[in-house]
Structure 1
Amino acid sequence: MKNKAVKFIDWGTKDYQEAWDSQEEIFAKTLAIKHQNRLNNSEEATPNYLIFTEHPHVYTLGKSGHEDYLLLDEAGLKEKEARFYKINRGGDITYHGPGQIVGYPILDLDNFFTDIHLYLRTLEEAIILTLAEYQITAGRYPGYTGVWLDADNDRARKICALGVRASRWVSMHGFAFNVNVDLDYFANIIPCGIDDKDVTSMERELGYPLDMEEVKEKLKRNIGKLFEMQWL
């Protein structure tokens, strides 16, 4: 029986390494339940989590990424008060920092649908719907993940990046949604390996800072609706 109950957690601002370790712990426990279910022919329900957080300045490089897309050396990272991690998600390099909603859905997709392509498109759709509530028209850029503005012309700019990992249909990592983030930090990388497109934020597009809690609530509601989640 599919368990669509989801526990929502807001970590507030959390160190990237601590958040990664916490994700890995939840991820491993869910995989262990699935493993025992197979061994014992049992049907213990697997948990689902949706976690929101913000991180201090950090650059992360996915498994398929290129380290030379980071344009800072150790001294440069120290000057920017930023950290750098090579991690086990898909995708290339990206930036996380204050004013950005980082979402970590740790879901057993057996409880929802077993299609990674659909999973990514559904997360994108939740961001698109949230932006529409602020009269920002967003969509997808053919051949790339994430959420874009003006994707059909030479003003294309990215407002949300995605990078996930999945094992036995359990997901981790997720998305980085630029709300009030300092966009200058993106100048220190080639974001997602794309050097000819801009990066933007809700604050830049609207001309004023957003209420982060309000945006989180709208985004949570849209994710829940699209995945047909039942909040614990």
Structure 2
Amino acid sequence: MNKSVDIQDLGLKDYKETWDYQERLFKEIIDIKIRNRREELSLKTPNYFLFVEHPHVYTLGKSGDFDNLLIDENKLAEIDATFYKINRGGDITYHGPGQIVGYPILDLENFFTDIHKYLRFLEEMVILTLAEYGLKAERSKGETGVWLDVGTPFARKICAMGVRASRWVTMHGFALNVNANLGYFDHMIPCGIKGKAVTSLNVELGKTEVSMEEVKEKLLKHFSALFEAKVKRETLAKS
């Protein structure tokens, strides 16, 4: 098993370009696995973890409801946002500047073969990171992602999640609001869940801005511990 994970920080990058890049890495791993099976080889499969910020974009998962996007094409253009229907699970979500988006592209056979455990570990990574900022984040029963004040009238989501997996290889991932412009969430029903608010780390801390790099390092620390991964931090540089 190869527990080494190549960390790449893509900086601010177009959603479609990043999606295409994910697909290339995803296919690379799948192709190695197919070759291993067909030719009875034991070639190691690589693992990747991409960090990225996207320009304003709304994405809809394969089981999502288009009606959860509350604006039309004209309004999208007006607010300088794009829209894509994509192949992950989950409903609608928003990505934009000030949000840390993470795309782990892992061969889970290098770690464990359990998608439920994989999602719970991603959530736990975020929960532990937020705890370092004094926030009690938690899961909300029946709803993916990470929330604050669950079970109260003030419940609010701080991190969305949606993944795809095939042959135990993952793609897509999580979006953690750090310094996000929350006004963009008003144009949709977040993850298709009505009546739930959305928040950002800087808002919760009462700060104008929180260091994105600091949050990334904390996320990686907890990711490494949970997955028992060997993180190759030397590639943590914008490309």
Partner in structure 1 of residue 237 of structure 2: none
Following the alignment from structure 2 to structure 1, what is the Cα–Cα distance between the partners of residues 67 and 144? 21
Partner in structure 2 of residue 46 of structure 1: 45
Q: Deviations over 1:3-36 (max 9, x none)?
A: 1011000001000000000000000010000000
Structure 2 counterparts to residues 93-108 of structure 1, below 5 A = 93-108=92-107
- State the one-letter code of the partner of 1:54: E
Q: Deviations over 1:47-83 (max 9, x none)?
A: 0001100000000000010001101101000001000
Partner in structure 1 of residue 170 of structure 2: 171
Partner in structure 1 of residue 235 of structure 2: none
Partner in structure 2 of residue 212 of structure 1: 212
Is the partner of 2:41 in helix, strand or coil?
coil
Deviation at 1:198, TM superposition (A): 0.4
Following the alignment from structure 1 to structure 2, what is the Cα–Cα distance between the partners of residues 17 and 164? 16
Identity across the alignment (%):
63
Is the partner of 1:146 in helix, strand or coil?
strand
Count how many residue pairs are aligned between Structure 1 and Structure 2.
231
Partner in structure 1 of residue 143 of structure 2: 144
Following the alignment from structure 2 to structure 1, what is the Cα–Cα distance between the partners of residues 151 and 121? 20
Partner in structure 1 of residue 227 of structure 2: 227
Unaligned runs of 5+ in 1: none
Corresponding position: 1:83 with 2:78:
no
- State the one-letter code of the partner of 1:72: I
Q: Deviations over 1:154-210 (max 9, x none)?
A: 211100000000000000000000000000000000010011110011011111010
Following the alignment from structure 2 to structure 1, what is the Cα–Cα distance between the partners of residues 2 and 217? 23
Report the more deviating stretch, 201-210 or 101-110.
201-210
Q: TM-score, normalised by structure 1?
A: 0.99
Deviation at 1:152, TM superposition (A): 2.4
Is the partner of 2:140 in helix, strand or coil?
coil
Corresponding position: 1:62 with 2:25:
no
- State the one-letter code of the partner of 1:105: P
Partner in structure 2 of residue 14 of structure 1: 13
Following the alignment from structure 1 to structure 2, what is the Cα–Cα distance between the partners of residues 109 and 144? 23
Partner in structure 1 of residue 134 of structure 2: 135
Q: TM-score, normalised by structure 2?
A: 0.96
Partner in structure 1 of residue 236 of structure 2: none
Following the alignment from structure 1 to structure 2, what is the Cα–Cα distance between the partners of residues 9 and 132? 25
Unaligned runs of 5+ in 2: 233-239
Report the more deviating stretch, 151-160 or 18-27.
151-160
Q: Deviations over 1:127-167 (max 9, x none)?
A: 00000000011000001100000112221110000000000
Following the alignment from structure 1 to structure 2, what is the Cα–Cα distance between the partners of residues 194 and 57? 21
Is the partner of 1:34 in helix, strand or coil?
helix
Q: Runs of at least 4 residues of structure 1 off by over 2 A? A: none
Partner in structure 1 of residue 200 of structure 2: 201
